[in-house]
Each structure stands twice: as structure tokens, then as C-alpha cells.
């Protein structure tokens, strides 16, 4: 059996003390009770996946239709895109290879008018399915893209355009749900109480995964294996205290208490590097409230050894590190025996051994500079292990939020920028924001050319 492990050997470096972990244990009984109540009330569906049976049924029903297309254009932003991109790059990397002729996933997760227009010029409409993702059904960036794509489909396909769309949104309310009801278009629900950054293992991430042929059932199996012990009736203080997600949460809380305000997510699995971007949103949007939280910083090995690691090793001692590795990665080609004498130690070695050596060297360097570091080692880079990693980090994030005494499931400050943008666009109902905009834009400018 493949083993996935957390290595805590270097976790309590620097200003940290393992006694702090024991101090946080005093809250374990309280939070175990709270966890089980939240699970019972279906407030944490990303842990126990109560929607799995219906999700599997609907995915299997839609799969023949999905497979009839060569291209998928996904309209979504933030949690509607980051997890999907991580899955594509981890388990369908051939899309980014030279001369690829198979299926392609195009993720439009920004307001980039030039790129978007070029995509619509080049994509073959008759072989493209458009998937629109917004839990609320009112995300302005996604809805604006939908309005443009809707006209593009109508122009090329006429009345058949609705056969080329799927809307993934709230089951009961919102503009996209109204569109589903009006058009009779295909749709799948975002389950209740499932925020975007926690939604990758729902229709949000698994519809594109199914389209690409990724083993989405294994992703779900992996996730459920992590949360299984927490979902049982006999879940107790001792169950939670022995769970790896609790240990990550208490370690992260201790980091913040000791002014380690940056949490590196250093990935030494090249195809999994985009999980760093997914984690950054998960951690930042969940914990950055009430003046609390820490800044997640994705880093890719070995690339960032040659860019930002100078700061990690020689800069302020304000960083902890989650360090993602796998010992069983492709070894690649063998170096020839006629290498120059200076490089003779590479003769007969596999190219992939360089990655493992760099991963060890970087980890040792961080440890020697007393950076608190936890190594997350997955035995294999399969969908099952990815599902386990996703569930581990999601659960740890929630527990860290509770330890910080904030709500890790909302994002109140994200809404401010949205309201101001809507006011700028002339939407009604934003009188206060319009006043703020008038004041902001009316300031005396202080501008310098460069």
C-alpha cells in the first residue's frame, strides 16, 4: 500500500516550541464537538461529501454528451477555476505538450478582452462545450463572459446553441438558475454551504475532470478516506487530536502567534505546482479576517530555488513552510557516459534524480536556517493521493480558522471591491459606493512619468 506521510521533524524550528502544540490541545474537545455539529448540520460538505451519490449519478448521465466535444470553454473565476486548473495540469498534462491533438480545456478566469476574443475567433463552435460556473449566479466577471459567449454561440449555431452549454450554479436561486429554467439547458448544482474555494471536488471541478478523462471517482475516494474518521458517531477529542489536519492547524496557529506571517507552499512535484495557487486562495480567503491570518505564498521547486529562495533563506525569519514531495516520479532519460569530466558524477544517472537531489538540498537549507517546515510526502502522484491532499488542507484550514476564532467559510471583504465595481459600471442599489467612488476619483492627483 502506498504511504502518504507528514514529516514533523523540522516543524518546531526557530521560535516555535512543541509545547505550543500541547497548549492548543486544551481546545480540542470543544472543537471536536463543534466539528461534529457542523457536519451534522451539513455545514462542511467538503469533508463528508453528502452530495456524492447524486453527483456521481449526474456525472455519468452527462458524460456521453461531454465526450462528444473536443473543446471545453470554462467560464469561472477564483474557486470556480483554480482547483480545475490544478487538476488539469496534474492529470492531463498532455494538453500542454507539443503537437497535442486530444481534448482541450480553456479556462477563462480573468477579464482579458483580447485573449477572450481570440479564443472565440479560433475555437470551433460546433465542437466546443461552454461550462459557466457561479454559485451565486451573479458573479459579474463570469456573467459578462456568458453574455458574450451566448451571442457567439447563437451566431454560429442558431437555436441549437443551448445544446452546447452547461450551467453550474445554486440549485434553487440566482440568475444562472433562472437561465436554466428558461432555456432548459443542462445544469448541475453547487451543493448548499459549499463555497467556491472548497468546491473543487463537486461538479465545479469534476465536470471538466470528467471531460478530460481524469479519474474523478478516485479523487472522491481519496478525499473521503481523510474525512472518514471525523464523520463517525464515535468521533471524539482523541479522534480529532490524532488527525493530521488538527496537527497542521495547531502548527499554523503557533506560527502566527510567533510572527511567522508567511506560509510557503513549496511544491517539488512539477505537475502539481498549480495546487499552490489553489491553496493560496483557500488559506487567504478563509483566514484573512479581523486582522488575523497569514499570507500563503506558492513556490515551485526547483524554479524558485533560483528566484525567490534567496529571500526565504536570507531574509526576515517570518516564514513557515509546507513542503510537498513525492519520491516516485518519472525518472526520465539517462545521462550519456561521455559527459565532460567536470560533470562525470551524472554519467549513467537518470535526469529525474536531479529533482530529488534538489528537493533534499532545498529542504535541508530551509531547515538549517531554522525555518519551521512540515514535509507532506505523497507516495504516488495519482488522483487518490490528490483527493487526500485536497481534503487534508481544506479540513486543516477550517480548524485553523476556528482556532483563530474567525469564520473560515465566509469572505466578507471580497464583496467590497465587487460592490464598488458594480457602482462604477452604473448598477442600481449602490448609492453609498457611488459616493465613495466620487470622493476617490475626485482626489487631487499626484502623478509622475517614468
Return the pLDDT at 22. 81
Report the 10 Å Cβ neighbour count for 225.
14
CA distance 225 to 183: 39
Coil, strand or helix: which one is 426?
A: coil
C-alpha distances out from residue 27 to 328, 399, 405, Å: 38, 11, 11
Confidence of residue 196 (pLDDT cuts 50, 70, 90): very high
Digit-coded pLDDT (tens) for 320-347: 999 999 999 999 999 999 999 999 999 9
pLDDT higher than 90, residue 236: no
CA distance 269 to 327: 9
CA distance 394 to 389: 9
Digit-coded pLDDT (tens) for 253-285: 999 999 999 999 999 999 999 999 999 999 999
Task: Give 15's contacts (C-beta < 8 A, 6+ positions apart).
Answer: 258, 259, 260, 317
pLDDT higher than 60, residue 76: yes
CATH number of the structural domain 5-39+224-403: 3.40.50.10490
Q: By C-alpha distance, which of 91, 89, 144 is closest to 116?
A: 144
In CATH terms, 45-214 corresponds, of 3.30.200.20, 3.40.1350.10, 3.40.50.10490, 3.40.50.300, to: 3.40.50.10490
Average pLDDT, rounded, for the chain: 95
Spell out the domain ranges in the chain. Answer: 5-39+224-403, 45-214
Active site residues: 285, 306, 418
Return the pLDDT at 168. 98
Cβ atoms of 397 and 197 within 8 Å: the answer is no
pLDDT higher than 50, residue 1: no
Amino acid at each position: 500500500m502506498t504511504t502518504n506521510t507528514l514529516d514533523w521533524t523540522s516543524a518546531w524550528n526557530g521560535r516555535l516550541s512543541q509545547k505550543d502544540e500541547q497548549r492548543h490541545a486544551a481546545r480540542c474537545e470543544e472543537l471536536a464537538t463543534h466539528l461534529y455539529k457542523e457536519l451534522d448540520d451539513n455545514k462542511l460538505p467538503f469533508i463528508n461529501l453528502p452530495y456524492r451519490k447524486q453527483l456521481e449519478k449526474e456525472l455519468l448521465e452527462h458524460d456521453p454528451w461531454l465526450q462528444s466535444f473536443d473543446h471545453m470553454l470554462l467560464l469561472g473565476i477564483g474557486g470556480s477555476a483554480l482547483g480545475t486548473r490544478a487538476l488539469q495540469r496534474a492529470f492531463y498534462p498532455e494538453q500542454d505538450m507539443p503537437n497535442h491533438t486530444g481534448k482541450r480545456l480553456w479556462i477563462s478566469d480573468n477579464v482579458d478582452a483580447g485573449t477572450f476574443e481570440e479564443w472565440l475567433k479560433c475555437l470551433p463552435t460546433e465542437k466546443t462545450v461552454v461550462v459557466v460556473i457561479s454559485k451565486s449566479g451573479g458573479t459579474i466577471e463570469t456573467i459578462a463572459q456568458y453574455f458574450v459567449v451566448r451571442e457567439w454561440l447563437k451566431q454560429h449555431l442558431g437555436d441549437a446553441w443551448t445544446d452546447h452549454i452547461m450551467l453550474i450554479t445554486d440549485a434553487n436561486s440566482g440568475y444562472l438558475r433562472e437561465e436554466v429554467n428558461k432555456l432548459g439547458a443542462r445544469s448541475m448544482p453547487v451543493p448548499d454551504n459549499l463555497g467556491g474555494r472548497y468546491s473543487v471536488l463537486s461538479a465545479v471541478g469534476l465536470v471538466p475532470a470528467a471531460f478530460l478523462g481524469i479519474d474523478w471517482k478516485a479523487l472522491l475516494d481519496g478525499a473521503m478516506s481523510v474525512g472518514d474518521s471525523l464523520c463517525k458517531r464515535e468521533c471524539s477529542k482523541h479522534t480529532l487530536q490524532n488527525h493530521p489536519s488538527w496537527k497542521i492547524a495547531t502548527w499554523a496557529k503557533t506560527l502566527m502567534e510567533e510572527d511567522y506571517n508567511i506560509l510557503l507552499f513549496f511544491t517539488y512535484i512539477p505537475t502539481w505546482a498549480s495546487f499552490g495557487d489553489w491553496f493560496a486562495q483557500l488559506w487567504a480567503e478563509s483566514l484573512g479576517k479581523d486582522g488575523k491570518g497569514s499570507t500563503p505564498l506558492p513556490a515551485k521547486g526547483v524554479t524558485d530555488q533560483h528566484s525567490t529562495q534567496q529571500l526565504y533563506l536570507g531574509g526576515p525569519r517570518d516564514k513557515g513552510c509546507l513542503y510537498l514531495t513525492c519520491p516516485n516520479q518519472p525518472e526520465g532519460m539517462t545521462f550519456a557516459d561521455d559527459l565532460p569530466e567536470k560533470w562525470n558524477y551524472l554519467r549513467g544517472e537518470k535526469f529525474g534524480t536531479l529533482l530529488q537531489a534538489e528537493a533534499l538540498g532545498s529542504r535541508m537549507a530551509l531547515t538549517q536556517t531554522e525555518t519551521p517546515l512540515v514535509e507532506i510526502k505523497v507516495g504516488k502522484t495519482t488522483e487518490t493521493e490528490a483527493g487526500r491532499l485536497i481534503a487534508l488542507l481544506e479540513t486543516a484550514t477550517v480548524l485553523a480558522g476556528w482556532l483563530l476564532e474567525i469564520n473560515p467559510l465566509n469572505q466578507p471583504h471580497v464583496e467590497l471591491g465587487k460592490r464598488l465595481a458594480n457602482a462604477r459600471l452604473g448598477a442600481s442599489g449602490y448609492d453609498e459606493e457611488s459616493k465613495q467612488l466620487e470622493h476617490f476619483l475626485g482626489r487631487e492627483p499626484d502623478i509622475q512619468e517614468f
